[in-house]
Chain A
Amino acid sequence: SQTIHQWPATLVQPVGSPLSLECTVEGTSNPNLYWYRQAAGRGLQLLFYSVGIGQISSEVPQNLSASRPQDRQFILSSKKLLLSDSGFYLCAWSLGQGREKLFFGSGTQLSVL
């Protein structure tokens, strides 16, 4: 069966520091991968998605970037965090090719102080 791992679970970072959140998927190959952000009390905002290695699409221009160095690895990064980057970050995967069932990781609570 497929599993998704996301870490760390919580992170407190000062303003201006870099960020790296990692997500890996096991038990499947060539998944679509996604990064969502969830601000407190709000919905799920799609940040990036990837249909293959090195292929990244950005939905919202911002202070963050994403990379997919391996088939089942998705990384969310920032060179300099802003206060507004605080939130709950969720990695997700789907099989793609018209199969939309989306499966989420356990999330990372990021607090930028």
Chain B
Amino acid sequence: GENVEQHPSTLSVQEGDSAVIKCTYSDSASNYFPWYKQELGKGPQLIIDIRSNVGEKKDQRIAVTLNKTAKHFSLHITETQPEDSAVYFCAASLNSGYALNFGKGTSLLVTP
């Protein structure tokens, strides 16, 4: 089955700096890659997603890049703010319509 690896497990940046979280996947047939943000005590919220026919997608301060050849994708957050502090999860799907395979999460701390 699909195996998603996520790095780093923790990340601390100063407010205003950029943060990058990387994920690799094992199944080259995977074609859908979402990112979720989970605040303490809450359920994960979808923040951005990308499909395998696109190399990059941007939404204001967040962007996701995908390298299908290398089987890795990354989340980029620019001009970080304290409210960006949360756990971020990447995931990959085979377009099966029923399940996502998640990475183990990255705890991001943005210090003022």
Q: How far is the CB of B101 from chain A (nearest CB, A)?
A: 8
Q: Decide if A107 touches B49 in the complex (CB within 8 Å).
A: no
Task: Give 1 or 0 for each of B22-50: 1 = CB within 8 Å of chain A CB.
Answer: 00000000001010100001111110010
- Given A6-B43, A98-B97, A104-B44: 19 more A-B contacts, CB < 8 Å: A34-B99, A43-B102, A43-B105, A44-B44, A44-B89, A46-B99, A57-B98, A59-B99, A90-B44, A94-B97, A94-B98, A100-B93, A100-B100, A102-B91, A104-B43, A104-B45, A105-B43, A107-B42, A107-B43
A106 CA to B41 CA in the complex, in Å? 8
Count the A residues whose beta carbon is within 8 Å of the partner chain — how many?
A: 27
Say which residue of B42, B95, B100, B104 sits within 8 Å of A102 (CB atoms).
Answer: B100
- CA A103 to CA B89, docked complex, whole Å: 13
Chain B contact patch, size range: 20 to 34
* Total number of residue pairs linking A and B with CB closer than 8 Å: 58
Known contacts A42-B104, A43-B102, A43-B105: A100-B95 contact under CB 8 Å: yes
Cβ-neighbour of B46 out of A42, A51, A102, A107 (below 8 A):
A102
Contacts of B44 in A (CB 8 A): 44, 90, 104
Bound Cα distance from A92 to B103, whole angstroms? 17
The answer, yes or no, to whether A32 is at the interface (CB within 8 Å) is yes
CA distance A40 to B49 in the complex (A): 25
